[in-house]
Amino acid sequence: MLDLLIKNTAIITMAGSGVGLIPRGNIGIRGNLIEVVSDADHHMANQQAHRVIDGTNKVVLPGLIDAHIHTGIALLRGLAQDTDHWMQKALWPFAEALTPEGEMAGSLVNIIEGVKAGTTTFGDYDSSMANLLHNHDQVGTRARVAETINELPDEMKDLEVGELYPLDAAEGQSKLQSALDLFKQWHGHDNGRITCMFGPQGPDMVSKELLLEIKELATKYDTQIHMHVAQGDREIDQMTKRYGQRSISWLEELGLLDTRLLAVHLTEATDEETRLLAQRGSAMILCSGSIGIIDGIIPPAAQFLAAGGKLALGSDQAPGNNCSNMFNEMKFTAILNKCKAVDPRVFPAWKMLRLATIEGARAIGLGDQIGSLEPGKKADMIIVNLDSPALCPTIMAPVRNIVPNLVYSASGSEVETSIVDGRIIMESHKLINVDEKQAMASAREAAQTLAYRARPGKNNIAIQMMEKEQL
């Protein structure tokens, strides 16, 4: 007996080298696993299920993977963009006013936002991950997370742009201990729905010694190192000032460039550095919306893919993207890279869907578990309502348009149902395990308090823009 059967539905399995589309089929789930994916009615004649969903005018596809997201700073949505020196001038003045409660409240709304737009797996990355995981645990999302490890002292706001950050080894050890505690408490939680990685914030924010210690630990725990790499001119500036080397050659020298490295951004990586990373088997996470808004840069994803690298997509954060919507990321990534190459043929729709599902899953080390709809894989999937103007018309023969429509036209609001590890966590576009209204009300209240606590002065860029009636 199946637990759930979705009948008469289009299925984008993402099996094989393309999208593996089944125009009309059935998909059956038992426990947390996919048991059957069938392309014809008669195969299912003897299948009984506790619950049956009619998939007419719907399409089932693997849940989307947001491989890099900082849900902990979501309360700052809309407070940091349209400026140079984003981190120092726009993010930090508000980030340092965040409380653990504010982080939790913002994170919950950010997770809800992602689920409502089709994300089932979150590569969450923060310095209070032990708290934030309670949100993922509650909502029912798959999370592959990292506790931020750096050696930065708490007070960074007084630093001038371009000044070398002080690194504090004791601070680093304390944060490493938090990361180890996170592993103890959460790694493998709920049947492996929640897993941990190590998260050194960047080669500029962690000493050589700590990086090498983390490398050993990643081997011991058999997990990945999720790290910002070449994420901006700020980082490269710090690296050359501190070590006289750029980020990627430094990591190569330290032996960090291997299959455990999950390198985020590569904003400032040269083509040669990018190829080296791919050749070493490291994976890359591309955050197109975020890096476009923060830096005005299109990272070298094309070069990374051309060198055979494993690529995933991420939404990064609410203050500087400003949304966590993987449909958005797919479309952006395609258009930005078409414009970078001045070639409309590159980054086609089917490839974008692969990056947000099966190829993203492989990049974050979960390719054997999720990312495609095949018997034996974990049941992470979304049901999209095709009876939506932006996805209309759907044509199934003699040509098809469903994949381009999902990638280039869906807004995310068409996602009706979300299933993670065999459990329905959203139905009729409403989350099952959390009170959305209450979550938003809490976030609004926490944000209001934060905004006053931050006390932005006349030098604050947001205040200056307000005075010019630009906000």
One of 323, 367, 369, 433 touching its own copies (CB under 8 A): 323
Q: Which region, judged by CB under 8 A, interacts with its own copies, from 185-193, 234-242, 270-278, 288-296?
A: 288-296
One of 298, 326, 356, 364 touching its own copies (CB under 8 A): 298
Q: Which of 306, 309, 289 is nearest to 297 (CA)?
A: 289
Give the C-alpha separation, 365 to 142, whole Å.
13
Q: Which region, judged by CB under 8 A, interacts with its own copies, from 197-205, 238-246, 366-374, 399-407?
A: 399-407
Give the C-alpha separation, 43 to 208, whole Å.
58
The one-letter code for the residue type at 427 is: E
The verdict on 350 binding its own copies (CB under 8 A) reads: yes
One of 1, 45, 170, 342 touching its own copies (CB under 8 A): 342
Name which of 195 and 325 has its Cβ closer to its own copies. 325
In angstroms, how far is CA 341 from the centroid of its own chain? 25
Question: How many Cα atoms occupy the beta-carbon half-sphere of 20 within 13 Å?
Answer: 21
The verdict on 61 binding its own copies (CB under 8 A) reads: no
CB of 390 to its own copies, least distance (A): 5
The interface with its own copies within residues 368-387 (CB under 8 A) comprises 387
CB of 10 to its own copies, least distance (A): 12
CB of 158 to its own copies, least distance (A): 20
Give the C-alpha separation, 13 to 395, whole Å.
18
CB of 326 to its own copies, least distance (A): 12
The interface with its own copies within residues 430-459 (CB under 8 A) comprises 436-437, 439-440, 443-444, 446-448, 451-452, 455-456
CB of 200 to its own copies, least distance (A): 25
Q: Which region, judged by CB under 8 A, interacts with its own copies, from 155-163, 279-287, 319-327, 419-427?
A: 319-327
Residue pair 85/382 in contact by the 8 Å Cβ criterion: no
The interface with its own copies within residues 209-238 (CB under 8 A) comprises none
Name which of 117 and 206 has its Cβ closer to its own copies. 117
One of 55, 72, 106, 200 touching its own copies (CB under 8 A): 106
Q: Which region, judged by CB under 8 A, interacts with its own copies, from 15-23, 26-34, 135-143, 203-211?
A: 15-23
Tokens of 120: 């089932």
Strand 64-69 vs strand 415-420: parallel, antiparallel, or unpaired? unpaired
The interface with its own copies within residues 152-211 (CB under 8 A) comprises none
CB of 166 to its own copies, least distance (A): 27
The one-letter code for the residue type at 128 is: S
# of chain residues touching its own copies (CB under 8 A): 100
- What is the rounded end-to-end Cα distance, in angstroms, of the chain? 57
Q: Which of 283, 407, 269 is nearest to 347 (CA)?
A: 407
Q: Which of 458, 435, 381, 394 is nearest to 26 (CA)?
A: 381
The verdict on 395 binding its own copies (CB under 8 A) reads: yes
The verdict on 40 binding its own copies (CB under 8 A) reads: no
One of 177, 390, 430, 438 touching its own copies (CB under 8 A): 390
Name which of 174 and 448 has its Cβ closer to its own copies. 448
With b for 16 or more beta-carbon neighbours within 10 A and e for fewer, the 197-210 pattern comes to bbbbbbbbbbbeeb
- Give backbone dihedrals phi and psi of 312, rounded to 5 degrees, phi first: -125, 165
Give the C-alpha separation, 132 to 154, whole Å.
20
Cα dist. 334→143, 154, 274, 284 in Å? 25, 38, 19, 16
Give the C-alpha separation, 365 to 414, whole Å.
28
CB of 387 to its own copies, least distance (A): 6
Give the C-alpha separation, 97 to 452, whole Å.
9
The verdict on 399 binding its own copies (CB under 8 A) reads: yes
